[in-house]
Structure 1
Amino acid sequence: MSGERGGGARGRTMRALFWTLLDVGGSQGLAFLLYVILTRILTPGEYGVFAIALAITAMANTVLFQGFADALIQREAPDEDDRSTAFWTNMALGTALAVLLVLSGPAFARIYGNAALSPVLQAMAALCVLRALVSVHSALCRREMRMAIFAMRAIGGYVIGGLSGIALAMAGWGVWALVACQIIQALVILAVMWATIRWTPRLRFSRVSLRDLAGFSSPFMVAGILTAMADKVDNLVIGVMLDVEAVGHYNLALKMLQALGFVAMSPLALLMMPVLARFAQDRAAFRDEYVRLVTASLAIWLPMAVGLGFLAPALVPLAFGPQWAAAVPVLQAMSLGCFTVPLWSFTGQALSSLDRPGAYAWLAGGQLVLAALAYAAASPFGIVAVGFAWAAVSALLVPVHLHVLEEVVGQSFMPLLGNALRLAAAGLGMAGAMLAGQALSGGSLWLTALAGCLAYLALLEVALLPRYVSGGVRSARLAFLAGGGIR
């Protein structure tokens, strides 16, 4: 019976992984296609204003998705009081945040010396309320690992919102095309989630539930806010110390790396917390599962980031147009983070699955301070220096995060570092093969990329992590078959 239960759990995880990959691949593919189209219509300055407004609203919205709603995932058996209390608490927070952003719009415009920022930020404040309306539904969906719904809502939102944004940009709406795109996407997600998750909040509010949920969510909410600030502080610092065009160029480089990150890391980020929570009582198994998942993410992320940095001089003008050429050296500097980013990106999910969000909050606070200091110090030397600072911050975070994990889990994470070093060696071999391929092919983009991919896969499979690639192919095939079996 235990074998059947284990097999059923594995099958459920594989199905969830299949739909998560479809969600990430479809939605982020559409998002990136939308981004490519819009950058050919809009200017770096218009994107810079939007990026600053998005950074501010994203930090506000972190309260809604990494607080009371996520506490429902961690809770063993949430009841109706828990769900409704979380919903109404988030609605109150979302409304308060929206009002605060509307009132602070003129102040942010003065700080950044750009009058267009105020109305853009005030309009995007509506996202706080729209996302509060789906925060609990999203948490319930993740708790039950119903990732097919995530795929439907994301793809639908990007298709409808993206087409609307393109039409408005072509009609000359400028930055407002981007604002409308965000709001329409949020409305589509709201409609899909409420239509598919058969739960409606009741007019109930429990102080007991609020206290219990807050016991988990308060430190996690603080950690989420600090992490969001660390993620967005680069755009905010660049906007103050340089200008909105510099923000636009930096944001394009970051957007390209984030597109790779969504493919390599987002599926595991969504599944990491519920999967690791099952091993919370067996710390050795917890460590082994974490090492396995992070190694898989790094194995996918590293060659994509290496290849992107190497091919940036040809890819950026081809995809986005010559007006974005200043983003090329920034992207190449940031691509140095290819060796380190996944090694610290999942620490929050791991600590939360062990009910240790307080430790995550301390890490997030340290990351925020380190990032702010690094970007402020680099900005006077130009936008490329900020790109190098981004890669340096990523490298400095690795030993700190692994040390905290070792202290909390009580297990050594040296196996993860060993795997990372082997993958790094394969990445260096890939870069060498791309240099040779570029010289032998006369600069052919596709042949250069092919030479690098083949070298990377061969080095892993034969020498550095024997049979790792073939084992990954078998696992992907199982995930596909399990996902295809859903009715």
Structure 2
Amino acid sequence: MTSERVDRTLSRLERTGRKESAFRGATPTLVARLFVQLLQLSGLVVLGRLLTPSDYGLATIVLTLTAFAFVVNEAALSFYLVYQPQLRDLAVDTAVLLSFLIGVILTGTFLALAQPLSRLYGEPELAPLLYAVAPMYVFGQATVPMGLLLKAGRFGTVGLLEVAGALASLGTSVTAAVQGRGAQALVLGPVVGTLVVTIAAFSIVRWRPRARSDAPAVKGLVRFAGPATGSELLTNLSSGIDRLALSVTGSLATLGYYSRASSMANIPAASLSFMVHRVAIRSFAAVRDDVATLSRQYHALRAVLLISSTAVAAILASASSSLLQLALGPGWRPAAASMAVLSLSIPALVLRSLALALLQAFGRTTLQFQSSLLSAAVTVAGVSAMAAQGEPILVALAVAGASWLSLFWFTLSASRVLTEGWRRQLSSISRAGLVAATCAVTTWIVGDATTAAPATEVAISVGVAASVSLLLAAALCRRSWKDLRARRDSAT
């Protein structure tokens, strides 16, 4: 079948923009994620002073429910386009058509379930929020053009689109909060941001979809996207079950405090994981026929990510109370304990994203689904048991423990792809856990021993965390670097 339109589009994108290799693409991707992270932090600071914990609790119910549907809408389509060595026109048209049809179905579903869900939770204000967020699935059609941009190596353009969406979302939320719209401010922002990204992405790619498809195109897309979508749904279930459980067992204020703690801890984890997954999947796909090179890239990235994510986790865990006081105000200090515990899962989440990129680069989406299923089962069981006590700190402990168990399953799956022994993989997990725990305990002891102002405590925590993480990572990753050097010498 023909691929003239796809080839012409990709050639134009490569010619009119700067095409980066996978590793060079990490720079614009990282810069874009830093800007998005700064915008998110700014939103937390500003909105935390304009809205109440109950507003956050109500919006958390809506955004947690809609997050599951957004995964279905995306359907792993963008990574399917990147994974395919040779794209056909029909495959791209099928992806666009499927994304739109799923969006229409999801919009209708949320419009129909708005009133029943409102009665189920006993919150009359929930229905208008669901009505407001439902159109986001029809607007959110940027999946395919973003996939084509990634296929063409336009990481910088994708990053700019994400920054534009985050800026539009923040501006809308702040404006609505100033007008006194309460929880609606947190819901309207993502809707506007999604619409902005969709319009801009299609304007740049200029792909004009045609309402056509065929059986091979649908079969290939479903074969890849089906298990990947199931895996993403399970991952979102694992990451959202804590808030769903607290929405049933706790008050809106309790849910609001916990959601802010989760957001503060997840911003760096999500940024690092997103960048790693986006860049690594294309890099691994390019060298998947050379297992030795692939193994070197995988272990080198893992060592670097261990150092950086552990430092971030230690800072957030030890200075959680001071950071919340500085960022959101003294009224949010009850969320400090949950934030400290949730921060310890950052290294596990980042390293899991690396293993996930490896599985998707090889098209091992079934293996990915099996790992996600085991991880989700452990998370749901642990969170459900802890949420029955009604204590957010217990739920946070269950989430952090489940994150490290999830890393265990995904790392074992990665070892099967690399045909490496499982003992080496378990050893790397142990080193990562030891580094994270040691840094967190050390910085917590130093921070607890000081009676300085919050800003000084944060500065002390940053310094100690950076020093300890670098020393421990250098010592504990020494063997990994020796293995990499030995492989390089043997290859030459």
Bin of the TM-score, shorter chain as denominator length: 0.7 to 0.9
Aligned to 2:457: 445
Pairing 1:77-96 to 2, within 5 Å after superposition: 77-96=86-105
Are 1:385 and 2:394 matched, yes or no? Answer: yes
Aligned to 1:71: 80
Aligned to 2:8: none
**TM-fit CA distance, 1:457:** 5.5
Opposite residue 87 of structure 2, the aligned amino acid is P
Preserved CA contact (<8 Å) 1:111 1:240:
no
User: How many residues end up aligned between the 2 structures?
Assistant: 460
Aligned to 2:106: 97
TM-score of the two chains, using structure 1 as the length reference: 0.87
| In 2: Cα distance, 1:193 partner to 1:201 partner | 13
Opposite residue 277 of structure 2, the aligned amino acid is A
Change (3 A) 1:411 1:189: same
Pairing 1:172-187 to 2, within 5 Å after superposition: 172-187=180-195
Preserved CA contact (<8 Å) 2:136 2:195:
no
Opposite residue 55 of structure 1, the aligned amino acid is T
Preserved CA contact (<8 Å) 2:20 2:154:
no
| In 2: Cα distance, 1:142 partner to 1:19 partner | 12
Residue deviations 1:256-305, cap 9 Å, x none? Answer: 11111134322111112111112322334333322222332222111111
| In 1: Cα distance, 2:51 partner to 2:338 partner | 20
**TM-fit CA distance, 1:467:** 12
Pairing 1:319-330 to 2, within 5 Å after superposition: 319-330=327-338
**TM-fit CA distance, 1:439:** 4.2
Preserved CA contact (<8 Å) 1:152 1:192:
no
Opposite residue 43 of structure 1, the aligned amino acid is T
Preserved CA contact (<8 Å) 1:264 1:298:
no
**TM-fit CA distance, 1:11:** 6.2
**TM-fit CA distance, 1:425:** 5.0
Are 1:459 and 2:471 matched, yes or no? Answer: yes
**TM-fit CA distance, 1:141:** 1.5
Change (3 A) 1:20 1:458: closer
Are 1:138 and 2:146 matched, yes or no? Answer: yes
Residue deviations 1:194-226, cap 9 Å, x none? Answer: 221132212332233112222222222222222
**TM-fit CA distance, 1:311:** 0.8
* Segment of structure 1 superposing worse, 200-209 or 22-31: 200-209
* Segment of structure 1 superposing worse, 421-430 or 16-25: 421-430
Match of 1:315, SS state, is helix
Q: Which of 319, 322, 334 does residue 311 from structure 1 map onto?
A: 319
| In 2: Cα distance, 1:161 partner to 1:182 partner | 5
Opposite residue 110 of structure 1, the aligned amino acid is R
| In 1: Cα distance, 2:76 partner to 2:449 partner | 52
Aligned to 2:442: 432
Q: Which of 221, 229, 236 does residue 213 from structure 1 map onto?
A: 221
**TM-fit CA distance, 1:98:** 0.9
Change (3 A) 1:433 1:370: closer
Aligned to 1:32: 41
Aligned to 1:271: 279
**TM-fit CA distance, 1:190:** 1.6
TM-score of the two chains, using structure 2 as the length reference: 0.86
Match of 1:12, SS state, is coil
| In 2: Cα distance, 1:463 partner to 1:361 partner | 35
Opposite residue 432 of structure 1, the aligned amino acid is T
Aligned to 2:342: 334
Aligned to 2:484: none
Match of 2:93, SS state, is helix
Q: Percent identity?
A: 22
* Segment of structure 1 superposing worse, 222-231 or 337-346: 337-346
| In 2: Cα distance, 1:442 partner to 1:11 partner | 46
| In 1: Cα distance, 2:439 partner to 2:235 partner | 33
Are 1:117 and 2:135 matched, yes or no? Answer: no
Are 1:161 and 2:169 matched, yes or no? Answer: yes
| In 1: Cα distance, 2:291 partner to 2:156 partner | 31
Preserved CA contact (<8 Å) 2:165 2:197:
yes
**TM-fit CA distance, 1:436:** 4.1
Change (3 A) 1:122 1:433: closer
Preserved CA contact (<8 Å) 1:431 1:452:
no
Instruction: Mark the runs of 5 or more structure 2 residues left unpaired by the alignment.
Output: 1-18, 482-492
Preserved CA contact (<8 Å) 2:320 2:340:
yes
Residue deviations 1:25-52, cap 9 Å, x none? Answer: 1112112211221111101111111111
